[in-house]
Structure 1
Amino acid sequence: MTHIALYRAWRPQTFQDMVGQQHIIQTLQNAIRENRVSHAYLFNGPRGTGKTTAAKVLAKAVNCERGPATEPCNECDACRGITAGHIMDVVEIDAASNRGIDEIRDIRDKVRYAPSEVRYKVYIIDEVHMLTAEAFNALLKTLEEPPGHVIFILATTEPHKLPATIISRCQRFDFRQVSLAEQSERLIQICREEGIDADEDAISYIARLSEGGMRDAISLLEQVSAFGNSRITLEAAVDVTGGMAAEQFYELAEAVRDRNVAAVLPLVESLTQAGKSADKCMENLIYYFRDLLVLKLAPQGAATERVVDAERFRSMAEAFTPERLFKMIDTLNRYQSDMKHASQPQTLFEVALMKLCTGDAHSAASSSSASAGEAPSAGAAPATGEMQRLRQQVEVLERKLEQLLQNGGAAAGGGQAGDGAQSRAAGNRQPGAGGRGSFGGTGGAGGVRLAAVKLDPYLGVAGSPASGQVRMKWSEVLQRVKEARITVHAWLVDGEPVSVTDDSVLVAFKNTMHRETTEKPAHREIIERVLQDVIGTPLRLATVMLKDWQAAVDRSGGGGGAEDPLELTADAIDTGEAAPQPKWVEEAVKLFGEDLVVVKED
């Protein structure tokens, strides 16, 4: 018997045949008995738990010639026709391949006509979350007020992707994973009826591997029985499914327990030679350490269906502390996430196991170094590598900057009162100003001078559709700039578009330094290129301080904007030269570069 034949032979044909969904079955049967069947249902839950099967059984129950009945007879023409798929009034649609608005419009046009063969028209839309937004909108009105002879049943594994307006118009039923006991009982029944000789531990292993899906459990049972020639053993089940035997788990755990890196690599190589995939081995190893942790913390109530040799398993659990088990599971979980995108998953699996063998010692060394406030040397770098070293350098620098600010910040800024302070606040740093010059500003190292900006043309179009379009797409502009150069994004994110003319966009900034650095030619070129790509037309970048823009808007509202053209330049606030920067600012520039240092005036 083929897999398809076996699955069809054991696919439930009545509510009574279904496994693990008694709460849903009872609700549906009561609704049929009391003639209170809803016009729309939403069945959601994990794969293989009976959503589509329940929908077909419900369609047969309401259309049975001996009903409506709480259980279909499966003998009348209606029941047999729905089971075989011959009844035109019961339509099953796969939304994954029929997800457009045309298919939903076709349904909307046909629901008006009365059923021709049975009592109710039933539309079963499987994987409904795959429909497009337009298709959902087309379905919405029909779903809200369908004719009395129509029932919609929507099935999905991802209900969070459905619009709330669709969910609110349906009766929602949450299908749960089938328990191990219920799965094992059904698998044993299938083996008994099909004449398959199966070991109890093999049945438990198959049930656990299906992760609560009865359909997957039957598929695995068929696969393993074909491999073993109608004889199912635990060893055969492990081999066919690519799992790891209990002995291999024990050897790996023993190597981790003894911190024996030399033993880990040959074990991984032997698993690879045996055809075991690295991601499956990682998954099984997480389960193994999880069971050790459960046995450690809750020995009386620990689940033991994975345990083959209980005494040996218990002795292994005693060799680990709960803290170490927690850390090992966290480490394996992180590497498992990385493994999904890795080109060499076996290497990551090996690295993860070596990390388990040496992780505690490295963690202790890293904690000691962090508490001493010192950056580790190149010869004793922790497992986090260059990033950890840079992080600790930043912490040291922050402490030094704080001390310099407290001890010498006032003296450094004392000579910058009055016009000098205003000059720095406005960002008016002329080329050639003392010391290293300004960083990220309009003069000095950057050599950039802000161009004059006449605000009158922008005030008149601040509320135009073009301005609104740019505001709506600004988040996309920021994302594209970030992809092009993340440092430019760091400056631009401080600004917001306030007005758009035919050839330029005006961006208002809260911070002077961010505005000045954005105006650099190289940065401006990147931003204007992204603006053209996103908006579709060439736009020049113009900048203004947010407070000046708001003042201009207020004056324009009062009538002064039309008579007094407002012009803002880099020298509009102050024409003096920028004062030399304090010592601590120069140290920060030396360490991080001028693009990453921002000075904010209190």
Structure 2
Amino acid sequence: MSYQALYRVWRPQRFDEIVGQQVVTQTLKNAIITKQISHAYLFAGPRGTGKTSAAKIFAKAINCHHRQDGEPCNECEICRAITNGQLGDVIEIDAASNNGVEEIRDIRDKAKYAPTQADYKVYIIDEVHMLSTGAFNALLKTLEEPPANVIFILATTEPHKIPLTIISRVQRFDFRRISAQDAFERMQYILDQKHVDYENDALWVIANAAEGGMRDALSILDQVLSFSDNQVKLDDALLVTGSVTKQLLKKYFDETTSHQSAAALHTMKEILDQGKDGQRFIEDLISFIRDVLLYQESPQLVNVAGSGLKEADFQQLSQAASADELYQMIDELNEIQEEMRFTTHPDVYLEVLTVKLSQIKPQDNKTSASDPRLNQTIGQLQQEIQQLQAAIAGLRQTGSGSASRIVRRAGSNTGNKIQPKMTVKLDRVYPILEHATKQNLRGLQEIWGDLLNMLDTPQRALINTSQPVAASPQGVVVSFDSSFLLQRANSGSLAADMEAGLQRLSGNEMRVAFVPMDQWPKIRHNYLVEHGYLNQGKTGTDKKDSSAQSAPATPVKTDPLVDKAKQMFGDLVKIEDN
């Protein structure tokens, strides 16, 4: 038999063998034990964290007649057939290559038929976010009214690309990244079972290089085994992963924090001459500085044994730079990392980085005070303090009445500076009001909750106190109770994100306009006046009165102003007789 990769040979066959996903696996096992099985599941998480493996184990467990505590026996005919991919009732589909409407319609048609061998027919759709819009719509009907004995398991690395209508009809499980500790222990177990010699430091290098993916860790381990003739050594792991030894990182860190730029440049050149990858060097250095920063805060937070250094090394490193210097170093590393993504000359960026890191010094409060903008702000505050002090002196001399007027006058001067007048973008509001109707407003209110769920957490917090007050096919007017929140909304990307969400939900391009709640009645009134609805109302009233004198039995005509207001704003309109 041909050689099989480690991640295939050691693929989990039981829930207990899935690494680092105890919450997910325990929930699935309990659902099987209590027979509370849903018709559709969504497994979301980074690559190589066990999503597809969990789906296959779940398919075996619900169809196994000899399961124990929610785990499949892996011995019966059904379990072996699913493990080998030979059971026709468990269908695994790659949505990346089968993302059209016809493929999903074929699934929908075949799902109506009962399973032939197993108790449940299971469809595992991997990378489901790659489906087209039409394919999602075809799948939606099946998820909404699923056939009996059919279960859908959707797996994805990008759940934000899946329509909310799909997510609302499935049970979602989020798979987290595998910790370096869990990956290290799993590799130890596999190598012990294979009777292969290894160095613990080498496994830590591989675990950190995998970046949370168990499959990636086993793939790198496979490479190291091939490179080092069925052994796992530290030097070989460093070469295969392109990582930098901890001693070289420590030396580079010591030289930059002691401002020895020439020595640091020489060390950096030595690192590159060994064939180390520039991007990997940046990542390793960020991780190294992060460990030093955590050790400064609390030594218990750092796994010294897995870092490749000693306790004495960390004690010395934590004294080499302050937390403020470490923050600046991480900022510089992140900036250079972004700039290096598309360059073919990483050595140039690394040389500039080395000089910058060597020149970092603790921030001085005196230097920050030399900022002209800060000096201007301080001057304004000092002037306001002088005005308040003058008001207090006036209070003592002239009594409470006259001094209170001074205080109010001083307060009004400062208030004008602190609270600028809000301007409303009427060029965005009026085109929406032109075609606004009550029906459109009600339709928008029905999807308002879905729209908020599409925004990120800060945006939802910002728009939490707002509400839609008018809507048309072309857009929506949203009122804010707080002028501060309205100012924040106008200065950010909230309007653009809401417009994108509305287009996704409704299929139409819609504009979003923000208004302050206290000014909304005046804006609405001014629109009616400027567009002639108020004049029409007066004319209609005059005609109504004159006709009433000549023909009392004539039915009273409705006021066009009231009709237009009701059409646009619905229940928000209140009619009062003056």
- Same fold flag (TM > 0.5): yes
Give secondary structure in 2 for the equivalent of 1:43.
Answer: strand
- Residues 334 and 167 of structure 1: CA distance in aligned 2, closer, same or farther (over 3 Å): same
Given candidates 555, 561, 569, the residue that maps to 2:532 is 555
Structure 2: how far apart are the matches of 1:300 and 1:319? 19
- Residues 325 and 88 of structure 1: CA distance in aligned 2, closer, same or farther (over 3 Å): same
Q: Confirm or deny: 8 A CA contact 2:42 2:153 kept in the other structure.
A: yes
- Residues 300 and 370 of structure 1: CA distance in aligned 2, closer, same or farther (over 3 Å): closer
Q: Which moved more, 1:169-178 or 1:286-295?
A: 169-178
Unaligned runs of 5+ in 2: 384-429, 441-522, 538-578
One-letter identity of the residue aligned with 1:167: I
* Aligned equivalent of 2:421: none
Deviation of 1:112 after TM superposition, in Å, equals 1.0
Give secondary structure in 1 for the equivalent of 2:352.
Answer: helix
Question: Normalized against structure 1, the TM-score is what?
Answer: 0.61
Q: Confirm or deny: 8 A CA contact 2:41 2:172 kept in the other structure.
A: yes
* Aligned equivalent of 2:289: 289
* Aligned equivalent of 2:149: 149
Structure 2: how far apart are the matches of 1:174 and 1:462? 45
Structure 2: how far apart are the matches of 1:159 and 1:258? 46
Give secondary structure in 1 for the equivalent of 2:359.
Answer: helix
1:438-453 correspondence runs (5 A): none
Deviation of 1:373 after TM superposition, in Å, equals 5.4
Deviation of 1:197 after TM superposition, in Å, equals 0.4
Instruction: Describe the superposition over 1:180-208 as per-residue Cα deviations: whole angstroms up to 9, x where unpaired.
Output: 33322221121122221001222222223
Unaligned runs of 5+ in 1: 375-390, 403-457, 469-545, 561-602
Structure 1: how far apart are the matches of 2:327 and 2:80? 54
Q: Confirm or deny: 8 A CA contact 1:256 1:353 kept in the other structure.
A: yes
Deviation of 1:91 after TM superposition, in Å, equals 1.0
Give secondary structure in 2 for the equivalent of 1:359.
Answer: coil
Q: Confirm or deny: 8 A CA contact 2:207 2:217 kept in the other structure.
A: yes
- Residues 187 and 370 of structure 1: CA distance in aligned 2, closer, same or farther (over 3 Å): closer
1:373-522 correspondence runs (5 A): 463=435
Q: Confirm or deny: 8 A CA contact 2:528 2:534 kept in the other structure.
A: no
Structure 2: how far apart are the matches of 1:345 and 1:245? 19
Q: Confirm or deny: 8 A CA contact 2:93 2:126 kept in the other structure.
A: yes
One-letter identity of the residue aligned with 2:238: V
Tell me how large the CA RMSD over aligned residues is. Answer: 3.8
Instruction: Describe the superposition over 1:119-170 as per-residue Cα deviations: whole angstroms up to 9, x where unpaired.
Output: 2110101112222233222211211220111000111222233222222211
Structure 1: how far apart are the matches of 2:29 and 2:320? 53
One-letter identity of the residue aligned with 2:353: A
* Aligned equivalent of 2:418: none
* Aligned equivalent of 1:56: 56
* Aligned equivalent of 1:245: 245
Deviation of 1:296 after TM superposition, in Å, equals 1.5
- Residues 88 and 177 of structure 1: CA distance in aligned 2, closer, same or farther (over 3 Å): same
- Residues 71 and 302 of structure 1: CA distance in aligned 2, closer, same or farther (over 3 Å): closer
Give secondary structure in 2 for the equivalent of 1:196.
Answer: coil
* Aligned equivalent of 2:78: 78
One-letter identity of the residue aligned with 2:532: R
* Aligned equivalent of 2:352: 351
- Residues 358 and 119 of structure 1: CA distance in aligned 2, closer, same or farther (over 3 Å): same
Is 1:97 aligned with 2:97? yes
* Aligned equivalent of 1:471: none
One-letter identity of the residue aligned with 1:52: T
The alignment covers a number of residue pairs equal to: 413
Deviation of 1:25 after TM superposition, in Å, equals 2.3
* Aligned equivalent of 1:313: 314
* Aligned equivalent of 2:198: 198
Q: Confirm or deny: 8 A CA contact 1:225 1:231 kept in the other structure.
A: yes
Give secondary structure in 2 for the equivalent of 1:116.
Answer: coil
Structure 1: how far apart are the matches of 2:14 and 2:368? 64
Structure 1: how far apart are the matches of 2:32 and 2:79? 16
Deviation of 1:223 after TM superposition, in Å, equals 1.1
Structure 2: how far apart are the matches of 1:316 and 1:65? 58
- Residues 69 and 309 of structure 1: CA distance in aligned 2, closer, same or farther (over 3 Å): closer
Give secondary structure in 2 for the equivalent of 1:106.
Answer: helix
Structure 2: how far apart are the matches of 1:240 and 1:222? 10
One-letter identity of the residue aligned with 1:165: T
Instruction: Describe the superposition over 1:416-454 as per-residue Cα deviations: whole angstroms up to 9, x where unpaired.
Output: xxxxxxxxxxxxxxxxxxxxxxxxxxxxxxxxxxxxxxx
Instruction: Describe the superposition over 1:287-334 as per-residue Cα deviations: whole angstroms up to 9, x where unpaired.
Output: 111111111121244321213233233212211112211221122122
More helix, by proportion: 2
Q: Confirm or deny: 8 A CA contact 1:74 1:80 kept in the other structure.
A: yes
Q: Confirm or deny: 8 A CA contact 1:31 1:37 kept in the other structure.
A: yes
One-letter identity of the residue aligned with 2:351: E
Q: Which moved more, 1:71-80 or 1:92-101?
A: 71-80
* Aligned equivalent of 2:567: none
Structure 1: how far apart are the matches of 2:280 and 2:12? 31
One-letter identity of the residue aligned with 2:313: R
Give secondary structure in 2 for the equivalent of 1:178.
Answer: coil
Q: Confirm or deny: 8 A CA contact 2:258 2:320 kept in the other structure.
A: no
One-letter identity of the residue aligned with 2:191: C
Q: Confirm or deny: 8 A CA contact 1:78 1:118 kept in the other structure.
A: yes
Structure 2: how far apart are the matches of 1:50 and 1:89? 21
* Aligned equivalent of 1:18: 18
Structure 2: how far apart are the matches of 1:184 and 1:370? 46
Q: Confirm or deny: 8 A CA contact 1:32 1:68 kept in the other structure.
A: no
Question: Normalized against structure 2, the TM-score is what?
Answer: 0.63
* Aligned equivalent of 1:274: 274
Structure 1: how far apart are the matches of 2:93 and 2:534? 59
Q: Confirm or deny: 8 A CA contact 2:48 2:215 kept in the other structure.
A: yes
Deviation of 1:463 after TM superposition, in Å, equals 4.8
Give secondary structure in 2 for the equivalent of 1:360.
Answer: coil
One-letter identity of the residue aligned with 1:310: E
Give secondary structure in 2 for the equivalent of 1:198.
Answer: coil
Is 1:39 aligned with 2:16? no
- Residues 300 and 556 of structure 1: CA distance in aligned 2, closer, same or farther (over 3 Å): closer
* Aligned equivalent of 1:124: 124
Instruction: Describe the superposition over 1:204-241 as per-residue Cα deviations: whole angstroms up to 9, x where unpaired.
Output: 22223223322122112111111111221212211111
Structure 1: how far apart are the matches of 2:160 and 2:136? 14
